[in-house]
Amino acid sequence: MHHGPSATTAFFQEFLALYPERVDRSVVFFPPAISLAAARAAVGERGDIRLGVQNVYWEPSGAFTGEISAPMACDAGALLVLVGHSERRHVFGESIEETVRKVRAVLDSGLDVMLCVGERIEERRAGQAEAVVFAQLDPVLRALGEGERMRLSIAYEPVWAIGTGVTATPEDARQMHAAVRARLASAWGEAAALDVPILYGGSVKPENARELLDQPDVDGVLVGGASLKASDFAAICASLP
């Protein structure tokens, strides 16, 4: 919940000046829904930048005051939706079943999904990290048709590393990303599993982005606080090998 329309316009003026267009990677922004129009106007014709929204409700319309629907997001220019972010799960109480309903609504509206999965620190200490992540992931995998698999990306965000300044070690990230990739292969086959981008999120900064991105199966990063400052985010975007 940062950057209203005016701040969004100012952010992109600085970011676009610092980060020239690249044809070898995509940069995705998930501004607050109220700032999506400002972001869209600021980005213009930059082909390497895609825009999404942070959340949707699963119904297409109706008496759901305060919510936005996937068709509304699509009409406003979004291409992706962030689904299952840890704050949606743990602050707002979103269940796995509700996450699946949102995924289906997003795909049915023609948008792509970035699904967030991750464990709490007590779950990791109890040796349950993979079980928790798989419990969040498996119902979504079962809900996707074969032709929809290319429209999914996954962000592993250990809850204990979000906004805390504590980052999973590169080895932590490597192990979980490898486990998620293996789970995809078990569900869909090796070829399909390799087509799904898996991102790491959790206290990503310019200082650690390259080391995380150098790990096998880490295809990108989902950036929180460091994305609020244009110079920091531009540096992270330039870190991808």
Q: Which residues are catalytic?
A: 85, 157
Helices (H), 144-229: 170-188, 190-194, 209-213
| CB neighbour list of residue 226: distance below 8 Å, 6 or more residues apart | 204, 205, 206, 232, 233, 236
Cα–Cα distance between 220 and 172 in angstroms, integer? 15
The rounded Cα 136 to chain-centroid distance in angstroms is 14
Cα–Cα distance between 153 and 162 in angstroms, integer? 19
Residue linked to tokens 């486990």: 179
In sequence order, what are the beta bridge partners of 153? 114
